[in-house]
Structure 1
């Protein structure tokens, strides 16, 4: 897979998710955790928006670099860095379960994030 295409795919997915987190943080929280106590609190919405802002930043970097980086090794470096960042995000999604903060691990990020990581690493290596 070409570096620019991988950056655009990962950037587009991150942009969509980040916008969704910022446009309707309460609804996004409900899709992940269900209708639990304090799901509509301002604090949980503010935290969801901050996480969405991080994804928006990742999206903007990838989309910008996909149009402006010509060098293959630079594109690979951007994709490797993106994969490392997404791995850190994946860890922060899974670790609360093992620390006893939640009863389950949300399914959506456990599918989307590894897929995005795989796209980044495949394109960076091949």
Structure 2
């Protein structure tokens, strides 16, 4: 897979997720955790979701901007490798929250999307 295309796929998916997290953090939280959160915690949960969404948007911006401005395949492969590692760490924190008992289950969206983005990044970097 071409490095630029892999970076654009990762960037576009992260862009959509990050926008959703920031436009409707309450709905995003309810999709993951249900509506059982105490009202006193909703504001903090929404603020945290927006901050996490900002990090996802940063990954998006890095991949999209570099996919159009970089011409060196080795540099693009290095950036894709770094993206794969970062996304894998993100997934590990989501799984870790479940293993430590902070969540009842692993949310479906990150459990599905993050491994796919890691795979796309690694295929783009090394194949």
Q: TM-score, normalised by structure 1?
A: 0.97
Are 2:61 and 1:60 equivalent residues in the alignment? yes
Q: How many residues align?
A: 126
Segments of 5+ residues of structure 2 without an aligned counterpart are none
Moved over 4 A (4+): none
Over residues 22-81 of structure 1, what are the superposed CA-to-partner deviations in whole Å (9 max), with x where a residue is unaligned?
Answer: 000000001111111237711000000000000000000000000011010000001000
1:19 corresponds to? 19
Q: CA RMSD in A?
A: 1.0
- Between 30-39 and 47-56, the greater mean CA deviation after superposition: 30-39
1:93 corresponds to? 94
Looking at structure 2, the residues matched to 102 and 70 of structure 1 have their Cα atoms a distance apart, in angstroms, of 43
Segments of 5+ residues of structure 1 without an aligned counterpart are none
